[in-house]
Amino acid sequence: MADWNELKLSMTYIEKINSLLLPKAKSAPLVLDLFAGCGGLALGFESRGFETLGFEKDADACKTYQLNLKGECKKITLTTETEFPKVDVVIGGPPCQPFSVGGHQLGLKDSRDGFPIFISAIERLQPEIWLFENVRGVLYSNRAYFDQILDALRALNYVVELRLLNAVNFGVPQNRERVVVVGHRGEFRFPQGETKRVTAAEALGEMMTQAPKESKFLTPSMDEYVAKYERASFCVRPRDLHPGLPARTLTCRNLAGATGDMQRIRLPDGRRRRLLIREAARLQSFPDWYEFCGGETSQFNQAGNAVPPLLALHLAGAIKEYLATTNRLSSGEILYRNLPDQFALPLEFKESTEMKIPTFITNTEKPAKITKLFNEALFILSKLGIPLDAVSRRGLEKMAMAFLAVCDVKRSADWSKARIREGKNAIKSREIITYINSHFEEKISSGSYDDIRRKDLKLPVVAGIIVASANKLDAARNDPQRGYSLSQEFVEIIRSFTRDAWTEEIEEFMAEKPTLSERLKAVRQIEHVPIKLPSGQTLQFSPGEHNQLQKALIEEFLPRYGSGAEVLYVGDSTNKYLVRDVARLKALKFFALEHGELPDIVAYSKKKNWLFLIEAVHTSGPISPVRLLELKRLTSECNADIVYITAFLNRETFRKYAPDIAWETEVWIADSPDHMVHFNGDKFLGPYKNQD
């Protein structure tokens, strides 16, 4: 071990992952890798000389495993009846539906849960040692079920020990906390971390300043959305990748999706782009030779779900050392080692600091302790993804009070006692009003009970934080007798609010959950197709809001919806013919450009044979019924299909002109660029598939 430690200390990060993480020739002992994913855990074990046999149901992940590792990976959906060979070591990362918002809290009876399969394998194989890893959320989301898992494993005559390990302490350039649980019958020792932390710049090098051709850049609308997300979540530092620090936790969601917390790099010229798969792999400590199979989203999912191979390398080393020992405990000694005061989770304690709660509301008429409690409630709701920006001060106050009533939290010291109100204990609208009046110095009329449903609890209910009709599943929405309760999914993270590490815990808890803010924003991942200008010319618009809107149409609207359209005509307030392609327009039998009724922009998609006639509304009006008839008359000889677009800078202007807009036309609003409004009768009538 001394030589190995000396060797790794003399290496750069890139040298380390490319030389230390190399599968050795197959040799005993055999390691069974359940729920193997793309092989991050197995790579660490093979690099320590173990032979691996993986089991994974995802086809792409299974191919990645087989392409890069010496061991075989069987594509299979595991069950409690799956047959396995006899082995001394079992490892894995069981999926855990009972900890997710989609779980039904069925515990070990949940067929989608991987833990019964893992426990069954341990019971039948009785290996020398076993290990599994999981997200930090298992410690507080449905903790009772996690304790049930540990008890079931202890009952198989193993000392069960767990640690909260941060991959950054094991040479991985990423803050990634994971719970690692080990079962053994001897003297296992968890690996010791390293003192030096690897930064993103050390891991990525020149990648952080480059923009490969496959780069996906953040658009202005995405930049604005990210800024709003960071303000709403009270980010002290922008969530770009910082060269001098390790990366944030990589997840499937922040790698593959255009979300508010997406992983991104800011280039020297100020542009921001999303991470590429090779960059994600480096930050996860995969070697550069490690290839991922499948499409881009599949590759990001594999990388985001993986155990960092450098962390796995340390764990494999600890297991190898354990197997080299001969001392084993008796059943009585194992029972003693598993006594409650012996298996308390050793956490990485930090110096206690008081959490800083933002001030959402001030109320000089109420005692300071009540106002403080309101701000705590709103802080929790904001961290759980509730958008508060557009809510009035009184609306925030009433939302906080209704939330506190459902939680049954009267004081700041009561958060750990937040309640699940089941059955007849579910709190009804009028009872919420009574609670608020009794504890928060209010005089709200009981006749306003419907405001609880329509206003005060609307957002927490839509977000799933609070369950409506907890006592009457079939109750009508306006039934005053239906009761409210905290969701089973959110109660533990709310109860843990006063813990020092709560802000880190809530970020981990929400990492894979789309927030209500994001769902309401409904950012659509639309592929941007570059638009073409004649002769590749660059447009220079003169100042002014009208020209700003035309610029947005060319840079934002046409790349989204233009199907590769070419701009054939555009004029601004100082140059009527900023762009004009007379030959192409004549070929389409478009009316003469000298005509005084030109739209602001004309663009043509050869792929669709569509001609876009676009009015950019600022001081002039939209495509009204009269204007539509006029344009139809002028384009009656045109041999392309016409699409009529009215564009606005913002919703306020749209609302002003909405009554004048003609049917059979389209509307685009620059401050919501990923959506359109159809004034097309029944042409586009139909359902949207649920994406949740």
Separation in Å, CA 20 to CA 69, 189, 312, 464 = 14, 22, 12, 45
Tokens 């990748």 locate to: 241
Tell me which of 96, 293, 407, 638 is the catalytic residue.
Answer: 96
* Residue pair 112/73 in contact by the 8 Å Cβ criterion: no
How far is the C-alpha of 666 from the C-alpha of 645, rounded, in Å?
A: 5
| Strand-pair category, 30-34 with 89-92 | parallel
Nearest alpha carbon to residue 156 among 114, 188, 120, 106: 120
Q: At what angle do helices 429-439 and 393-407 cross, to 10 degrees?
A: 100
Which of 179, 188, 190 has its CA nearest to residue 93?
A: 179
Decide: helix, strand or coil at residue 677: strand
Nearest to 116 by CA among 83, 85, 82, 79: 79
What is the residue-wise DSSP string for 538-600? Answer: PP-PPSSHHHHHHHHIIIIIHHHHSSSPEEEEE--SS-TTSEE-HHHHHHTTPPPTTSTT--S
Task: Using alpha carbons, list the distances in angstroms from residue 411 to 377, 415, 487, 499.
Answer: 11, 8, 21, 16
d(CA 142, CA 515): 20
Return the closest-CA partner of residue 13 out of 284, 338, 304.
284
Q: Is 31 helix (H, G, I), strand (E, B) or coil?
A: strand
Instruction: Give the 3-state secondary structure of residue 5.
Output: helix
Give the contacts of 96 (CB within 8 A, at least 6 positions apart): 113, 114, 115, 134, 135, 138
Please tell me the number of Cα atoms within 13 Å of 486 on its side-chain side.
Answer: 21
**Cα four-point dihedral sign 419, 420, 423, 427:** positive
Number of C-beta neighbours around residue 79 at 10 A: 10
Do 335 and 345 touch, CB atoms closer than 8 A?
A: no
d(CA 103, CA 142): 10
Orientation angle between helical segments 502-510 and 488-495, nearest 10 degrees? 160
235 catalytic per annotation? no
Angle between helices 393-407 and 368-383 (to 10 degrees): 90
Kindly state the tokens that stand for 258: 């255009």
DSSP 243-289: TTSPBPPP-HHHHHS--TT--EEE-TTS-EEEPPHHHHHHHTT--TT
The token pair at 123 is 């019971």
CA distances from 39 to 141, 390, 487 (A): 27, 45, 35
For the annotated catalytic residues, the residue numbers are 96
